[in-house]
Amino acid sequence: MQYESFAFIYDKLMDNVDYGMWINYIENIIKRENVIVKNILELACGTGNLTIPLAQKGYDIVGIDISEEMLDVAKQKCLEEEIDVVFLNQDMRELDFEIYDLDCVLCACDGFNYILEEEELKNIFENVYKLLKEEGIFIFDISSYFKMSNILSNNTFGENREDIAYIWQNYFDEEENIVEMDLAFFIRNGKYFEKFEETHYQRAYNNEEILDILKHTGFNNIKVYKDFTFLQADEESERVFFVCKK
C-alpha cells in the first residue's frame, strides 16, 4: 500500500522541499497566463503542503487525495493553523466532483506519475477539462522520463537521521515504463526503531505522450517548463511543469 504509515512522517522527510518557492512559482504562472484565479481544485494534495498556504492566501481551494492518512495529517494541520479547507478522500481516477467552471486545477509534486495507465490519465484530463471554466488553467508537474529512467531507475537511496531512517530501493521496468519503489522506514520508539514498509509504483511519461493527451483532450496554449523556470523543458529536466488552458 502507499501513503499509509508513511503519511505520518511524510512532512518530516519533505522538509528539504521549499513549498514557499513552489507557491510563488504557481502564482507567477497564474500571473503570466493572465487568468483570474479565485478557486482551485487540487488533485493528489497529500498533507496539504500547498493546499493550506494557498487557502491562507485567500484562494477557495478543495484538496483531493486517495490516502485517508495523508488527509488526516492535512486536517490536523488545518486545525492547528485554524483554517478551514475542504478535503475529499477520492481516487482521482474516479473523480466525483460537481462544481463546474473552476478557475484552476492543480496537481503538484508528481501526483500524475502515480497514474500507471495512459487511458486513466486521459480520463482524468477529460474530467479536469469538463470542470474548468473557459480559459481556466490546468497546472501540474511530473517527474520526467529522464529522472525516472536515469536517476531514480535501478538505484538505492537512503537517509540516516536521529529519529528516522529509510532505505529506498528502485527497480525500473523498461517495457512498462514503471518504477517500483520499495521503501523501508525505521522510526525511533524509545531505545529501538520500528520498521514499516511500503511499495510505490510510478510511471515514467515522455513529455510528448502527455502533450498528445492534453491536445487530444482539447487543451490549448500548452507550455512545458523545466524545473521551476519559464524555460522550455529539455531532455535533462527532472521536474517538468505543464501549464495549459481550456
| Residue 172 grid cell | 525500473
70 lies in the site for ligand SAM, by CB under 6 A: yes
CA-based angle 174:178:184, to the nearest 5? Answer: 120
Instruction: Give yes or no for a contact between 90 and 98, defined as CB atoms under 8 angstroms apart.
Output: no
62 lies in the site for ligand SAM, by CB under 6 A: no
111 lies in the site for ligand SAM, by CB under 6 A: yes
- Would you give the DSSP letter of residue 94? G
**For ligand SAM, the closer CB: 103 or 110:** 110
Candidate list 61, 73, 105, 109; residue touching ligand SAM; CB under 6 A: 109
67 lies in the site for ligand SAM, by CB under 6 A: yes
46 lies in the site for ligand SAM, by CB under 6 A: yes
**At how many degrees (to 10) do helices 207-217 and 118-131 cross?**
40
Of 53-61, 78-86, 108-116, 146-154: span binding ligand SAM (CB under 6 A): 108-116
Minimum separation from the CB atom of position 213 to ligand SAM (A): 16
63 lies in the site for ligand SAM, by CB under 6 A: no
**For ligand SAM, the closer CB: 5 or 135:** 5
**For ligand SAM, the closer CB: 30 or 50:** 50
143 lies in the site for ligand SAM, by CB under 6 A: no
Contacts of residue 40, defined as CB under 8 A and 6 or more positions apart, other chains included, come to: 54, 59, 60, 61, 62, 102, 103, 104, 105, 106
93 lies in the site for ligand SAM, by CB under 6 A: yes
Q: Which of 115, 168, 123, 173 is nearest to 142 (CA)?
A: 115
Instruction: Give yes or no for a contact between 11 and 73, defined as CB atoms under 8 angstroms apart.
Output: yes
Distance CA 206, CA 211 (A): 9
Q: Identify the bridge partners of residue 195 per DSSP, sorted by sequence position.
A: 186
Candidate list 29, 30, 37, 50; residue touching ligand SAM; CB under 6 A: 50
CA-based angle 133:30:102, to the nearest 5? Answer: 20
Interface residue list for ligand SAM (CB under 6 A): 3, 44-46, 49-50, 65-67, 70, 91-93, 108-111, 114
